[in-house]
Structure 1
Amino acid sequence: MHKPTIIGLLLAALSMPHLSAAQATDIRQLASSPRWLTTKVYIDGAPETDVKAKYPGVVGISTWDPERNRYEFFYTDTGESKYNNGGGGYFFVTGDQKQHVLVPDMGPTKTIVRRLETLNDREFTYSREVPRDMIETNPPVRIHVVHAPYTGTVQTRSAITQQDKE
C-alpha cells in the first residue's frame, strides 16, 4: 500500500468516533453474506425505475471482509475481479454509521465516499452522486445501489487473495 494511502486511512480512522459494540455488529452485516449482488440501481426520488443498464460500473458481485476491512468487486457474467481497475482495496464505515468509504488499492479513483442507506443481512444499499448516466459532462445525480446476498452460480476469483499469497 502506498504511504499517502496509509496516512489517509490513519487520519480518517483517528477522526472517527469510537465504535460501540452495536455499531461493530452493524458493520459485520456486510459479512452476513459471502457475496452480494447488485439487484437494482435507481435515481434519487424514483425508486420504481431500475436504471442498472445506465450505470454498469456500479453493478456486480462484491465481497466484504470486515475483519480485514477489505473489499473486492467482480463482473456478474464471468466472475472475474475488477481489482486492477480500482475494484478492490480497503473500506470502513464511519462511527456514526452514515458513510461507507472505499480506498482502492489501484486505479484512477483514490477514495469513494458513499452514503450508507440500509445495511442488514438481507439488504445493503448505498447512495452517491455521479454524473447522470456516468457521462462526465452530464450534471450530477444521486443514485441508490441496492444489493442482496448472492445465491447464483457464478464463481468469483479473487485477485486480492491471489496477491496476498504472493
Structure 2
Amino acid sequence: MPTMRSTAKLVGGLCLAIGLLAASPSRAQTPDSVSAAKALSSTLWLTTKVYLEGAPEQDVQADYMGVVGLSRWDSARNRYEFFDPATGASRLKAGGGGYFFITGDGKHHVLVPDAGAVRVLPRRLEKLTTAEFTYSREVPRNMVQGNPPVRIYVVHTPYTGPFNPPLSQP
C-alpha cells in the first residue's frame, strides 16, 4: 500500500511533467482542454445512465454500480471527489477522490486517485458540455475481475437533488 508521501511524490512528478509539457509552445494546453475542465467544474454531476458499447438503448447501471454516483470537480486545484447518490456521503477514503487532468487534445480525462489499488485511471471523453458529461472506459464485464473486458459509457447530467457536498481538503 503506497504511503501518503509516495502518493505526493507521484502526483508532484506528474504535475511537474504536465507543467513542463504545457510550457512548450507546441504542447500548450488547448482551448478544448481548458473549456472542458471549466464545463466539468460547472456543477455537481449525477450518473444517469450506463450502457455498453453498441447498445446505447439499454441502461445497465445495476451491473456497474462502481461507476454510479455524484461527482464534483475543481479545475482550479485539479481535484475530484465522488459521493454516494443516496446519502451524499464522500467516497474519498475508498479511493473516490484525488487529482485529475484533461489531456491537451481534450480527448482523455485521467484520474489519479489518492487511495486504492488503481494509481492512474484513463477515460475517454465522449461528450462534455455544461448539460452532459459522458466518458467511456474498458472494465471487466459486470465489474467482475476475470470477466472479459467491455467498453462502458457513463452518462452524467447536472444534479438537482438535496445534496450539495463540498470537496474534502486533501
Q: CA deviation at 1:3?
A: 1.1
TM-score normalized with structure 1 length: 0.89
Match status 1:123 vs 2:147 = no
Aligned twin of 1:70: 79
RMSD in angstroms over aligned alpha carbons? 1.7
Correspondence for 1:40 = 49
| Ranges in structure 2 where 5+ consecutive residues have no aligned partner | 1-6
1:94-121 deviation digits (Å, cap 9, x = unpaired): 0000110000111221110000000001
1:17-72 superposed Cα distances (whole Å, 9 cap, x missing partner): 31134541232001221x00000000000000000000111000000000110100
Q: Which residue of 1 aligns with 2:119?
A: 110
Identity %: 52
Please state how far the C-alpha of 1:9 moved relative to its aligned partner. 3.6
Q: TM-score, normalised by structure 2?
A: 0.87
Is the Cα–Cα contact under 8 Å of residues 99 and 111 in structure 2 kept in the other structure? yes
Tell me the SS of whatever aligns to 1:2: helix
8 Å CA contact retained: 2:107, 2:124: yes
Distance 1:45 1:134 in 2: 18
Q: CA deviation at 1:155?
A: 4.3
Unaligned runs of 5+ in 1: none
Counterparts of 1:6 and 1:59, CA distance in 2 = 29
Off by >6 Å, runs of 4+ in structure 1:
none
Say if 2:17 is the partner of 1:8: no
Alpha-carbon distance, 1:147 to partner: 0.3
Please give the alpha-carbon distance, in whole angstroms, between the structure 2 residues aligned to 1:133 and 1:14. Answer: 39
